[in-house]
Structure 1
Amino acid sequence: MASSDVSRFGIGALFAHHAERAQPTIFHLSRAFDIAPDGGTRYTVPQLADLVGETAAWLYAAGARQGDRIAIVKDNHWDCTLLACAAARIGVLPAMISGHLGADALETLLKRLAPAVLVTKRNILERGRAAETDLASLARRTICLDGEAPGAVTLAEAVGERGDGEPPVPRRDPSEPMVVTHTSGTTGVPKLVVHSAQTILGTLGRIESVRWPIVATRKSDTVASGIAFVHGRSIPWTAGTLLLEPRKAVVVADGDPATAERVFTEHPPTTCETLPAFFTRWEGLAAKENSVFRDVRLYVSTFDAMHPPTIRRFLAASQRKFPAWLQGWGQSEAGPLAFRLLTRRALARTGERHPTTRIAGRPLPYFTQLEVRDPATMRKVPAGERGVVFARTRGRCLTYLGEEDRWAEKADGDWWNTGDIGTRSRSGAITLLDREVDTIPGLSCIELEDVLTDRIPAIEEVVILGSPNRKPQPVVATADGKLPDDVWAKAVADLPELADPIYVTWDDVARTGTGKVRRGEMRKRFMDDAETFGTGRWT
């Protein structure tokens, strides 16, 4: 299959193309795929290509046809991406949706999608029934991957219906919708983000495949990925890994430290990308002597802000002379927008009032332009002044499925309103302050959160919530939900005046499937749903 076939058939041709060019990477999984429970945890690229083809065949047998949509709603694993590739292979538009979402949100998204086929698991369907929602009824056909469920056929039954020959592989215009992912849902029901082959492969995948100094994957690498595989990030990661041919690729499907220790002991990574919440859970592993992260030359974080102490601990865990941390900033709708490399030296000073991690870095050369505008007038502001950050990139999504007006509200010609408040330096570096909906005039909540986690090691998470006519409210998570008064008082002595902290544990912090804090839910719970300074217009 020629390389041009990838652009004509999109992600449906990705694995077949690289199988034919004898891509040598071995993929190791933390657990077997849900779509191949007996397939083991070790795959070559030709074996993955065969699995995609077999999956496409049973999706076709289940009734999915060119022009249809399917919904992939299941526990986190890389086979969410393989399912999407299989659907695209037969001309179907796949939507990868987090199984972490509540039944109400899933019902809303499935009604917007109107799928021909729903691929899911029993725990998802049971959660729906507990909320008096029959998720299986929202698709023409439902396939349950892990056994029998009301209104669904089993995976074995779906595979048994498969014919002998391969289903047709239709051509696709690179500008047409190819895959649907979704935003994290920090402010409510996630938005369904529609991408084409041009946007997610031609631009975002191309960014991933450039042999950038230091950060690009090397043939000698063992790359580890523990991301949210329903997220749009999974497709550029897959495309880049297949093209750059590391020695091994290790896929971690959950954030359990025991899982990471088991897999990384057998396959020590040289690069490691995961969710910020997973990094936080793995800090104990980083602190161990001869840590499983001893060979890491590059850490990558892209899904949310990282606190300085966490970055510092992982850099210290590496026995490399000059390990680096790639801090990326981007969005589901537009892909990576800016990045910055952090080193041990950059993070040597602790407890600073303005942590270096708040500087997101500069736009990606040749791919992205960034500017800051006044949120009221939409005019560009001078360097150093705060405003809403706009991005221009060819990787911008096509629309929000079922919410086209909401997408249009954020699009301004070729520019995209990120909804993030920040400043731009004279040299072009972007400093992120807050989401517009969460902003507090004159302050940065995420900056204060970084300072507090840096100054108080006992803090596992802290969330600053703002509301008019009230002091900023800290919600502080520690191991036991407590903290000595004098420790807190000393840490905040030089900070803007804050309300008395509310102490909780890690599990009390509302999060999305990618580990981001759901600040709106926290505001409901701890501030009686108090109003915000921000408008929320561009969430």
Structure 2
Amino acid sequence: MGVLFDECAELGAATRVYLDRPFDIAADAKTDYSVAELAVLVQDAAGWLAAAGAGPGDRVAIVKDNHWDYDLLACAAVRIGAVPAQLSAHLSGDALEILLKRLEPKLLVSTAGLLERCRQVGVDLASFADTAVTLDSAAVLDWAAPGSVALDDLRGHRAPAPVRRHDDQPLVINHTSGTTGVPKLVVHSTRTIIGKLARFETIRYPRIGVRRTDTVVNASAFAHGRTFCWTASVMCLAPKEVSIITQQDPDVVDPVLRAHPPTIIEAMPASFVRFRPLTDRLDNPFRQVRLFVSTYDAMHPPTIRAYLSASRHRSPLWMQGWGQTETGPLTFRFHTRRSVSAALPQSDTRHLGNPVPIKTRLRVVDPDTFDPLPPGRAGLVLAKTGARALTYVGEPDRWAAKQVGSWWNTGDIGIRNRNGSVQLLDREVDRTPQLSCLATEDLLEDRLPQAVECIVLGCAGEEPLPVVVTADGELEQDCWEQAVRGLPRLKSPVVLTWDQVPRTGTGKVRRAALLEQLTGRTKTSGSGRWT
């Protein structure tokens, strides 16, 4: 990964990369790059990191505004033999303090603004690293963190020669989503995240493989491991264009999509939800898309249906992946216009498809005894894959507790069907005995077209609490009564706007935080032992 862009440039990759805003690490305001120019930027960044004191074996923590230069900085750290740790700026100061204490980084790469925001809540991020590098000048504020250095003072330093590491040594550290508390720090090696995951994606599969004529759009949270893996594969596949979207305001994103209409788009579920109004616009920007890709979280049928209908391609596909930071994708399922048709009695997106062929095995077990369960019985989903990460930084006991022999405990409740496919019901910590929260959310979103999102929260010893997110925070009572007809008993709904719901950096709902916000309690029917 340290020489990824160099090698792609040497092979003549003609890909043009377009940004919705300039990189935070670039001295100019460019939003258009060749692969060769990106290679130079990574080389330059390697020189900056080395000049700041990072070297082989050191950890380099990166926490900044969302952009693809998270991965460019990670490649630069890899190039000098260091181990990058990518942390989302969406995390609270307290969570960042915990993670940085676990990491003990040699170097912290951040922004003066973020350091100041955390300082105001009593957290001095710069104190947890030997040196803090600010991507903007510390002079923009009326203070300077002790030991910090502005990036401008490091520019011009020559990068050392690339450092190679063993395939089983730590390569990159990414954190989990953190929906239930402080995220876990997951360590991947070259063998796991590149050899087992990225290489699998570089095959030009029929229909779903990236072609050299494609325009690939990625609207993601670039601090997460998924984009590090994606960066490796998409650069090797060398599509005509790559477009990077860092924002979620549909009015801001619309002109970017129109300037470079995607044929393949990968986005966080939250981004697909936020961009959905664009599907109704005249000459919508998704008309050329042949493949939509979603990861990170559950997708509900109305959203998938809207995008597949917006495409003018003869037979567009929606590829839904299910997996975890620790394992990479475990299953894939493909949706078509027919499979999510509103004419069907129920469009079931909880069926996640079959395990990735050859690479993954799944088993459903009793949560108490861990005995295997027969098809059709709900239990904990265990996975076996060669792509499993190495460990959690600072939490070896937590890592060990999630291993069941050679199997990995996903912490998800699901059903294994007779054909080998998996049906996801809930996270174990979020489960409720009355119903599947995820399946109920699917039904509610189908029955409430005015809903941007529906969330069902399990409450220990009580009826589940539904939350309906609408554009204006309003919902008519008769619409709700029609929507819940035939469903198990639910509490009266809480109606919120999008910004009133606590979320992770990937847009996932922080269910425990939302439950506490609405009820003052966090106790659910699940044990939470494997979160």
Q: Classify the secondary structure of the residue corresponding to 1:129.
A: helix
Aligned counterpart for 2:134 among listed residues 131, 139, 144? 144
**Deviations 1:380-430 (CA, angstroms, capped at 9, x unpaired):** 110010011111111101000011111111122331111110001111111
Is the 2:341–2:347 Cα contact (8 Å) retained in structure 1?
no
| Aligned positions of 1:510-525 closer than 5 A | 510-525=502-517
Letter in structure 1 aligned against 2:505: G
- Partner of residue 4, structure 1: none
Q: Which of 327, 350, 362 matches 1:358?
A: 350
Distance of aligned partners of 1:527 and 1:355 in 2 relative to their CA distance in 1, 3 Å threshold:
farther
Cα distance in 2 for residues equivalent to 1:244 and 1:134? 42
Residue 13 of structure 1: how far off its partner (Å): 2.1
State the aligned residue count. Answer: 525
Q: Indicate whether 1:534 and 2:530 are aligned.
A: no
Cα distance between partner residues in 2 of 1:426 and 1:210: 29
> Is the Cα contact below 8 Å between 1:393 and 1:414 reproduced in 2?
no
- Deviation larger for 420-429 or 119-128: 119-128
Q: 1:448 corresponds to which residue?
A: 440
1:271: which partner in 2? Answer: 264
Q: Deviations over 1:471-520 (max 9, x none)?
A: 11112221222211111111111111111111211111110000000000
Structure-2 separation of matches of 1:13 and 1:392: 31
Selected match of 1:187 from 174, 180, 186: 180
2:369 equivalent in structure 1: 377
Q: Is 1:246–2:236 an aligned residue pair?
A: no
CA RMSD of aligned residues (A): 1.3
The one of 7, 26, 31 equivalent to 1:17 is 7
1:158 aligns with 2:154: yes
1:429 aligns with 2:421: yes
Query: Which residue of 318, 322, 328 maps to 1:329?
Result: 322
Alignment partners' CA distance in 2, 1:21 and 1:12:
16
Counterpart in the other structure of 1:57: 47
2:164 is aligned with 1:168: no
Contact 2:513–2:522 (CA under 8 A) maintained in structure 1: no
Q: Give the Cα separation in 2 of the matches to 1:17 and 1:441.
A: 53
Q: Is 1:76 matched up with 2:66?
A: yes
Distance 2:405 2:65 in 1: 37
Instruction: State the shift of 1:116 in Å.
Output: 1.0
What is the aligned partner in structure 2 of residue 43 from structure 1?
Answer: 33
Q: Counterpart in 1 of 2:248?
A: 255
Distance in 1 between the 2:411 and 2:327 partners?
12
- The Cα shift of 1:537 comes to 0.7
C-alpha contact (below 8 Å) 1:351/1:454 kept by paired residues = no
**Rounded Cα–Cα distance in structure 1 between residues aligned with 2:225 and 2:95:** 19
User: d(CA) in 2 for partners of 1:112 and 1:473?
Assistant: 36
- State yes or no: 1:395 paired with 2:375: no
Please say if 1:226 is aligned against 2:219: yes
- Partner Cα separation in structure 2 for residue 479 and residue 140 of structure 1: 45
Q: Secondary structure at the match of 2:2?
A: helix
Partners of 1:146 and 1:259 lie apart in 2 by 24
Counterpart residue identity of residue 45, structure 2:
T
State the alpha-carbon separation in 1 of the partners of residues 111 and 132 from structure 2: 10
The Cα shift of 1:351 comes to 8.1
2:54 aligned counterpart, secondary structure: coil
Determine if the alignment matches structure 1 residue 26 to structure 2 residue 16.
Answer: yes
The one-letter code sitting in structure 2 at the alignment partner of 1:498 is L
2:284 aligned with 1:284: no
What is the CA-CA distance between 1:39 and the residue it aligns to? 5.2
Instruction: Identify unmatched segments of 5+ residues in structure 2.
Output: none
Unaligned runs of 5+ in 1: 1-10
Alignment correspondent of 1:338: 331
The amino acid across from 2:442 in the alignment is D
SS of the residue 1:118 aligns to: strand
CA distance in 2, matches of 1:282, 1:166: 40
Give the distance between the partners of 1:330 and 1:321, measured in 2 at CA. 29
Q: What are the Cα deviations for residues 215-262 of structure 1, in whole angstroms up to 9, with x where unaligned?
A: 111111100001111111112211111121211111111112133212
Q: Which of residues 113, 121, 124 is equivalent to 1:131?
A: 121
- Greater displacement, 405-414 / 493-502: 405-414
2:513 and 2:69 map into 1 onto residues whose CA distance is 30
The answer as to 2:63 corresponding to 1:97 is: no
How far 1:44 sits from its partner (Å)?
Answer: 1.3
Q: Which amino acid aligns with 2:93?
A: A
1:87 is matched with 77
Shift of 1:118: 0.6
Opposite residue 415 of structure 1, the aligned amino acid is: W
Contact 2:461 2:525 in 1 (8 A): no
Q: Give the 5 Å matches for 1:102-121.
A: 102-121=92-111
In the alignment, what sits opposite 1:417?
409
Q: CA, structure 1 residues 259+37, in 2 after alignment: closer, same or farther (shift >3 Å)?
A: farther
The yes-or-no answer on 1:311 pairing with 2:304 is: yes
Deviations 1:22-60 (A, max 9, x none): 112111111111111405111111111111111001100
Aligned partner (choices 393, 400, 417) of residue 408 of structure 1: 400
Q: Distance in 2 between matches of 1:468 and 1:158?
A: 54
Amino acid across the alignment from 2:319: L
Range 94-103 or range 150-159, more displaced: 150-159
- 1:282 match: secondary structure: helix
- AA aligned to 2:61 is A
Does structure 2 conserve the Cα–Cα contact (< 8 Å) formed by 1:350 and 1:455? no
User: What is the CA–CA distance in structure 2 between the aligned matches of 1:26 and 1:504, rounded to whole Å?
Assistant: 41
For the 8 Å contact 1:143–1:158, the answer to whether it is kept is no
Aligned partners of 2:419, 2:332: CA distance in 1, in Å? 14
Distance 2:261 2:495 in 1: 37
- In 2: Cα distance, 1:524 partner to 1:350 partner: 38
- CA offset at residue 103 of structure 1? 0.4
Deviation of 1:92 after TM superposition, in Å, equals 0.5
- Residue identity in the other structure for 1:292: P
TM-score, normalisation: structure 2: 0.97
Could you tell me how far apart the structure 1 residues matched to 2:259 and 2:523 are?
Answer: 50
CA contact (8 A) 2:434 2:488 kept: no
Q: Structure 2 counterpart of 1:235, which letter?
A: F
SS of residue matched to 2:188: strand
TM-score, normalised on structure 1?
0.95
For residue 177 of structure 1, what is the amino acid of its counterpart? Answer: P
Secondary structure class of the residue paired with 1:449: helix
Alignment deviations for residues 283-328 of structure 1 (CA, whole Å, 9 cap, x no partner)? 1111111101110011110111111111111111111111111111
1:457-496 equivalent positions in 2, closer than 5 A: 457-496=449-488
Contact 1:19/1:46 (CA < 8 Å) preserved in 2?
Answer: yes
Indicate if the aligned counterparts of 2:198 and 2:233 stay in contact, CA closer than 8 A.
yes
Q: Which residue of 2 aligns with 1:211?
A: 204
SS at 1:375's partner residue?
Answer: coil
